[in-house]
């Protein structure tokens, strides 16, 4: 019997990479999955079905509130509930690291729009389906807010904002028995991250090399490393935990 039997989980940005790993990990514990992404998520749907659970793909732009609302409604219509939201969709792999003076306001605001507003709008979308019975919201931040990574100020700022947003939403949602927490990974090998350093415009070592040397646990991080923390925050094991950030970077940074 799985720890998430009977639960319905929306995982944004789950067509590939870390998001797909989150979705598959929850499916293996019995959750039915809504794969929400701008990219085609049918491969994740197939993986979930192969794992013995059920899934649907809903094409979703998290910067559009109407699409977020439609995503949540589709979960309720198909599976009868929305129990878990894992806010994973973000801009990361396409970022070109460069000196901060070279970033335009438009570049900066686009990352905040996807990474922060997107998570906020997804939380708004699922709230009507959670407010009468409780639920679990898991936001994906980054340990970069502890490190101060150069060359990507908009990304680091967005992830800092997610932690602040998590605390605020935990206060507002607590009376509805909704837990809101953040996972803060370090650099993780994935579809989005593997090409991250190829187009950088700064004379610094690869991000993975910098992080690997500074970690207490000196090995590469892979998406599967993150599943256990997500499951903990999605189950009743974390019923009395809210407004918190769990740093998951192999001991790169301490919080």
CA distance 95 to 142: 15
The HSE-up count of residue 30 (CA atoms within 13 Å, CB side) is 10
Which residues are known to be catalytic? 155
The first and second tokens of residue 246, run together, are 């769990």
How many helices (H) and strands (E) would you count in the chain? Answer: 9, 7
CA distance 232 to 36: 21
The first and second tokens of residue 159, run together, are 């992830």
Q: Nearest-5° angle of CA 119, CA 124, CA 126?
A: 95
- In DSSP notation, 172-196 reads HHGGGTEEEEEEEE----STTTTTT
């Amino acid at each position: 019997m799985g720890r998430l039997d009977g639960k319905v989980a929306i995982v944004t940005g789950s067509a590939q990479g870390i998001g797909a790993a989150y979705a598959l990990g929850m499916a293996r514990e019995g959750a039915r999955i809504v794969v929400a992404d701008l990219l085609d998520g049918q491969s994740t749907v197939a993986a979930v079905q192969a794992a013995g659970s059920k899934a649907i793909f809903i094409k979703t732009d998290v910067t559009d509130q109407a699409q977020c609302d439609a995503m949540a409604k589709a979960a309720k219509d198909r599976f009868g509930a929305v129990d878990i939201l894992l806010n994973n969709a973000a801009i990361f792999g396409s970022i070109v690291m460069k000196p901060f003076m070279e970033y335009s306001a438009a570049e900066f605001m686009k990352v905040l729009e996807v990474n922060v507003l997107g998570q906020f709008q997804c939380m708004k979308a699922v709230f009507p389906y959670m407010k009468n019975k409780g639920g679990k919201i898991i936001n994906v931040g980054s340990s970069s807010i502890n490190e101060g990574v150069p060359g990507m100020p908009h990304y680091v700022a967005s992830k800092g904002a997610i932690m602040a947003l998590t605390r605020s939403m935990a206060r507002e949602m607590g009376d509805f028995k909704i837990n809101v927490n953040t996972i803060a990974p370090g650099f993780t090998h994935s579809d989005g991250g593997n090409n991250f350093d190829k187009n950088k415009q700064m004379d610094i070592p690869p991000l993975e090399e910098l992080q690997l040397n500074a970690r207490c646990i000196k090995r590469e991080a892979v998406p599967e490393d993150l599943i256990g923390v997500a499951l903990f925050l999605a189950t009743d094991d974390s019923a009395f935990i809210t407004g918190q950030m769990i740093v998951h970077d192999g001991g790169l940074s301490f919080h």
